[in-house]
Structure 1
Amino acid sequence: MTDIIKRTTLMVRDGDAASNWYETVFGMTKWMDTPFTLSGTQLAAGKKGDKTRLIILKCEHDMIGMIGLLEWLDPKQDAPEELPTEIKFGAPVFVVASEDAKGAVERARALGSTIHSEPREWSVTGADGKQKDMIGCSFWDLDGYFFEVNQVVKVHD
C-alpha cells in the first residue's frame, strides 16, 4: 500500500471566518466541526489540556484534498499581527485546480484577501507532453496561507 496525504491542517485565528472563506472562495463543504482537548503528545503545538476546535472541509472527494482548520479556544493561540506578503521557506503553497479562477480571485478579494496575481493567461507542457492553456491567479487566505489557482482553458493534442 502507498500512503496518501489526505488532509492539510492549518492553524487559524477564527474558525468561523476561515470556514466561510474556504466555502465561499473554493466551494468547499464542511465535513466535520468538533471541539477537542490536546493530549500533549502527537501535535507539535500547544500543550496538554489546550481546548481547540477542528473544522474539516472537503471538495469533491471525501478523503483527499481536505483542509483542516484548527482554532485554539482556550488558551487563545498567539497569531502574528501582520500577514505575510511573500512566501518564506517552510511555508506551503497550495495549488488549486479551478473551473473559475477569475471568480475565485474576486470572491477572495471580496472577503478581504491580499491578491498577489490577478488572473492571467499562461501555458504549460503537462506531464503527458501536451500543452495546456491556463488562466492563473494567486492570493492569500485570511490567515496568511498562499494559494495558486489555475484553470485549464484548452489542452492541445
Structure 2
Amino acid sequence: MVDIVKRTTLMVRDAERAAHWYEDVFGMSRWMDTPFTLSGTQLAAGKKGDKTRLVIMKAEHDEIGMLGLLQWVDPPRADVPAELPTEIPFGTPIFVVASQDTAGAVERARASGSRIHSEPTEWSVTGADGRVKDMLGASFWDLDGYFFEVNQVVRIND
C-alpha cells in the first residue's frame, strides 16, 4: 500500500474570505466547515484550548487535492505577517494547479485582490511520457501569501 497526500492545510487570516477566494478563482466547493478546539498534542502550532475554524475546500476529487483553511479565532495568531511576500522563501510550498482556463483564473484572482506574478504565457515541456506539451501558464499569490502556478495544456504533440 502507498500512502496518499489527501489534504494540505493552510493557515489563513480569515477562513471565510479565503474560502470565497478558492470558490471564485478555482471553482472549489466547501467540503467541510467546522469550529474546533486544539488539543495541544497533534498540531505543532497554537496551544491547547485555542479556538479555530477549519474550512476544507475540494476540487474535482473527494479524497485527494483538498485544501484546509485554518483560522485561529480565539486567540487570533500573533505571528501573522503584516505584508504578503513578493518572492517564495525556502520552505514555502508552491501549489501547481491543472486548469482548463488559465487566463480566466488570472482575471478572477486579480479581481479578488491577488498579486499577479506572471500573466498567461505560452511554454512547452516534455512530459514523463516523452511527448511535448504546449502549455499556457501563469502564477499568483492567494490573499494569504500562498503561491500558485496555474497551467493549462493547450496541445500535446505526438
TM-score, normalization: structure 1?
Answer: 0.99
Q: Identify unmatched segments of 5+ residues in structure 1.
A: none
Supply the distance in 2 between the matched residues of 1:51 and 1:116 (Cα, whole angstroms): 34
The percentage of counterpart residues that share the same residue type is 76
Q: How many residues align?
A: 157
Give the AA of the match of 2:60: E
User: Would you say 1:146 and 2:144 are equivalent positions?
Assistant: no
| Superposed displacement of residue 117, structure 1 | 0.2
Per-residue deviation at 1:72? 0.4
Distance 1:154 1:136 in 2: 13
Q: How far apart, in 2, do the equivalents of 1:69 and 1:54 lie?
A: 6
Instruction: Spell out the pairing of 1:76-115 with structure 2 (5 A cutoff).
Output: 76-78=76-78, 79-115=80-116
Per-residue CA shift, 1:85-120, capped at 9, x if unaligned?
A: 000000000000000000000000001000000000
Q: Which runs of 5+ in 2 are unaligned?
A: none
- Structure 2 CA distance for aligned equivalents of residues 77 and 111 of structure 1: 24
Distance in structure 2 (CA, Å) of the matches to 1:75 and 1:136: 39
Pairwise CA RMSD: 0.4
Look up the SS of the partner of 1:21 in the other structure.
helix
Partner of 2:57: 57
Give the corresponding residue for 2:34. 34
**Given the two structures, how large is their TM-score scaled by the length of structure 2?**
0.99
- Distance across 2 between alignment mates of 1:115 and 1:8: 22
Q: Secondary structure of the equivalent of 2:129?
A: coil
CA distance in 1, matches of 2:149, 2:60: 19
Partners in 2 of 1:65 and 1:39 — Cα distance?
26
After superposition, where does 1:15-26 map in structure 2 within 5 Å?
15-26=15-26
SS at match of 2:31: strand
